[in-house]
Chain A
Amino acid sequence: MSATATNLGAAAPSDHGAGSSHGHDKTGTVIFGFWIFLMSDLIAFSLFLATYADAEWHGIANGPSPHELFSLGLPTIETMSLLISTFTFGICTLGMKYGASMERTIKWLVITLIFGAIFLGIELYEFHEFWSEGNTPQVSGFLTAYYSLVGLHGLHVTSGIIWGILLIVQMKTMGYSDLVKSRLMRLGLFWHMLDIVWIALFTKIYLMGVLS
């Protein structure tokens, strides 16, 4: 943690609890706290995923099966755009770590958000397609679980995009400060977690669904 903070140019690395409650590395601690929050968030995803795994087996009822519903084309493009966005976010935060200018950081953040928006657009398009064929979440337990799991992820991505836009505004208004940089670091962690979660979702829902 302290390495991250040093590279942000925040507090000098000091041994934890060095006396005053603020004598230690505040940025590193906030990021540590955010990691713990992400663990909690990951529990939510895993429960929805477990529910999905049950519903795609037992919850078909009169609705379509995963095999009938899914194809791999669009989801693959969707996945690629999210993977690219996580790569560009990596460039963004790495650049920040090694002293990139604010303009450069914002540029890479904007590119990231655009790829995030593409991901989201494809997801919404797919929802729309299913929906217009009559495959709404009200049809079966399987569709309920599908829309909820993918929708939960989509809501996370949406809030990540809003968060990113707000951070661009904050960089412009509050300056390229350690505080805002620390927030960007946390958005980065959030974004990468969503990417990892999506890998699991893509594998379970689409790859295994089509194969089933």
Chain B
Amino acid sequence: MSILGSLNWDDIFIVPWFKEPSTSTAIAAGAGGIVVLGALAVLVLLTVKGWWKPLYKEWITSLDHKKIGVIYIVLAAIMLIRGVLEAVVMRAQQVAPAPGFLSVEHHAELFSTHGTIMIFFVAMPLLIGLINVVMPLQIGARDMEFPFMNAISLWLSVGGAALVMASLVIGKFETGGWTAYPPYTGAQLSPNEGVDYWIWSLMLTGIGTTLSGINFAVTIYKQRAPGMTLMKMPIFAWTTLCTAILMIFAMMPLAVCSLMLALDRHAGFHFFTADAGGNMMNFANLFWLFGHPEVYILILPAFGVFSHVIPTFSGKKLYGYTSLVWATIAIAVLSFTVWVHHFFTMGQTAHLNAIFGIATITIGVPTGVKVYNWMLTMWRGKLRFSTAMLFSAGFMFTFVIGGITGVMLANPVISFAAHNSLFLVAHFHNMLIPGLLFGMFAGINYWFPLCFGFRLDEKWGVRSFWCWMIGFYLTFMPLYAIGLMGAPRRMAFFTDPAYMPWLIISMIGALTVLAGLTCQVIQMYVSVKNREDLMVPAGDPWDGRGLEWSLGCPVPEHDFTTIPHITSREPWVDAKASGLRVMEPTEFVDIELPKNTGMGFWVAMVATVGAFGMIFQMWWLAALCWVGMWVLVLVRSYNTDWEHHISAQELRADYERHKHVVETTPKVSLDDEFTSKNRGLIMDMEEAV
């Protein structure tokens, strides 16, 4: 085997198009071209603007949890654009006259990358990013417990995403769907590098996520402000804790089953092969041992977001805190007891299916508790429909519909009829678009000022919401319908004319979603342009209820000048009720913050190159990078000068400065909340009257 492993000229993105020109290869070449040109454009921009140095010094090497969170979210945004565009191409393919303009292979590649990207490189970075930004601020911590490990997690995820992007330019991605079941993905039926792209990009990001889970859990257990008992924690911290525990336990099965698949493919092992005593069903089993808890990893943080957005914009305390906490815990525990419902038809006994069906339906109970909590929080509140609140309300409507179809599918009898159909596809999009994306959009709109000091533009935010909401219904309600009519999922084209009207509606829906995404890009652009008008330096633009709104916007690098003593669930509400607009300082003490280091970045980049070596069977490169990665870790372990010092005087000065800003900022009433008069200080009720 050559030094370049299995890499050859045909793997370069334009070559297949030269050899066999067709619409399908042209689209593939065009997508690769966009990646290459996009990367070039970024390089040119960075060079022309002279941003290389600030990018490296202030972002890539940063161990600040807020910056790490922002990079996660930027990563997710880039990948979301690709994921949505792929969805639009697939919808277009199905309304084109059969057999459409894509080859069957190409279509399969699209739904595989779409699923893989949306789950691992959009949903996960969004929620991990948001947790990074917000959770420490909510519990009174100055950083994650292991900031260096946090950077490694981040850059491993970026590395995994980079590999998926690279698959557009060099070689192909796999065609077996995001679940990549063998034996189809075994060496015999999928001999090219596609499945290896899937295995190694998920390996990187999976390890990153496991480390994130450990980091979040330890931070919450050990870093809470004094007085903040577990039952005084904000709900978002609670959902983070449950998500973190799920990450710790559930990411490993993914690593294990993909590693086994890699051994089958390249070492001739027989874990999942069809012959010599392999058991392909074990793959589905192991995969969903990860996959089902993963669903709740995705959804719990969004539940946390809603539990803050809804009380804030209803002007009321969260209804039923305790029941919400227990519902969260119940969902986290139950999430490990339902994985068999992903393969009811695989041949286990009816008794087993019944047990897992009942367990699945049971999850509807704690989830239902939550929906009632949010509804009762809104009940008789003074509702303000900000973008964040609209996404939350849209979520509640839509998610309940998805939940009902979920309870239908949880019944093994119905599952036998509806599995592998577009009904199922409609169901899980119905859970994840409101349950994850709407939650994250709400969270980003709500908490954005903490990172950058200004609000996001409301007008374009509201437009994006309506496009997403309407686009969702138009896209997926038709899929429920034709799913029940018998349309299977993952088909490259349909020949039954009865499906066509529904598919056209679905196509229009996909374009509406694309419009929603465009509105969000415009929203970001407009907000940055008008940032002076949108600045909220006093730090509390929505009359917020959590500690994170007591710090000023943007939040300083050290987060808290003094760590507050917590005596209630809503200390910031209590402080405001007693007339304070700045948390009373406790004592100023010298603190240490982690020093910037590029080591996390470099470790992950070496690992990424090594993964690329594994994908193209350049074993020498993989081995070299494996050793290199650990050498870097070893070098880092000799470094004991990892903290920089901030003196009590500096903290005091910073506190005085923030206090001065708050004292000199004019208060506005809630009626002016979304106008440029809002500088981050809302008057309380009595003043408003």
The CA of A24 and the CA of B433, in the complex, are separated in Å by 41
Partner of B218, one of A15, A29, A137: A29
Range of interface residues on chain A? 35 or more
Q: In the assembled complex, which residues on chain B have CB atoms less than 8 Å from the CB atom of A59?
A: 270, 277-279
> B279–A138 contact, CB under 8 A?
no
Q: B248: CB under 8 A from chain A?
A: yes
Residue on B nearest A141 in the bound complex, by CB: B277
> A141–B271 contact, CB under 8 A?
yes
Q: A51: CB under 8 A from chain B?
A: yes
**Which chain A residues (37-74) contact chain B, with CB distance < 8 Å?**
37, 39-41, 43-44, 47-48, 51, 54-55, 58-63
Determine how close the nearest CB of chain B comes to the CB of A183; give it in whole angstroms.
Answer: 8
Determine how close the nearest CB of chain B comes to the CB of A147; give it in whole angstroms.
Answer: 8
Residue on B nearest A143 in the bound complex, by CB: B270
> B223–A21 contact, CB under 8 A?
yes
Partner of B252, one of A17, A33, A43: A43
Partner of B279, one of A15, A44, A58, A139: A58
> B218–A140 contact, CB under 8 A?
no
Q: B325: CB under 8 A from chain A?
A: no
Work out how many contacts link A and B, with CB atoms closer than 8 A.
142
Q: B89: CB under 8 A from chain A?
A: no
> B221–A140 contact, CB under 8 A?
no
**Which chain B residues (204-225) contact chain A, with CB distance < 8 Å?**
210, 213-215, 217-218, 221-225
Q: In the assembled complex, which residues on chain B have CB atoms less than 8 Å from the CB atom of A22?
A: 591-592, 643
> A21–B143 contact, CB under 8 A?
yes
Q: B672: CB under 8 A from chain A?
A: no
Q: A211: CB under 8 A from chain B?
A: no
**Which chain A residues (137-171) contact chain B, with CB distance < 8 Å?**
137-145, 148, 166, 170
> B228–A138 contact, CB under 8 A?
no
Q: In the assembled complex, which residues on chain B have CB atoms less than 8 Å from the CB atom of A44?
A: 252, 255-256
The CA of A61 and the CA of B225, in the complex, are separated in Å by 59
The CA of A47 and the CA of B289, in the complex, are separated in Å by 10
Q: Identify the stretch in B193-201, B357-365, B612-620, B632-640 within 8 Å (CB) of chain A at 4 or more residues.
A: B632-640
Q: A87: CB under 8 A from chain B?
A: no
Check A20/B563 contact, CB under 8 A, given A36-B217, A47-B253, A141-B276. yes
> A140–B224 contact, CB under 8 A?
no
Q: B286: CB under 8 A from chain A?
A: yes
Q: In the assembled complex, which residues on chain B have CB atoms less than 8 Å from the CB atom of A138?
A: 267-270, 276
The CA of A17 and the CA of B226, in the complex, are separated in Å by 5
> B276–A17 contact, CB under 8 A?
no
Residue on A nearest B634 in the bound complex, by CB: A166
Can you report 13 residue pairs joining A to B where beta carbons are below 8 Å apart? A16-B222, A17-B141, A17-B222, A17-B224, A20-B142, A21-B591, A36-B218, A47-B289, A59-B278, A138-B267, A138-B276, A139-B276, A148-B271
Q: A47-B257, A141-B273 are in contact. List 7 more A-B contacts (CB 8 A).
A: A20-B142, A44-B256, A51-B271, A60-B277, A137-B270, A144-B270, A183-B637
Binding site for B on A (CB under 8 A): 15-24, 29-30, 32-33, 36-37, 39-41, 43-44, 47-48, 51, 54-55, 58-63, 137-145, 148, 166, 170, 173-174, 179, 183
The 5 closest A-B pairs by CB, nearest first: A141-B277, A59-B277, A61-B277, A21-B142, A43-B252
Binding site for A on B (CB under 8 A): 140-143, 145-146, 210, 213-215, 217-218, 221-226, 228, 248-249, 251-253, 255-257, 260, 263, 267-271, 273, 275-279, 282, 286, 289, 562-563, 586-587, 589-592, 634, 637-638, 640, 643
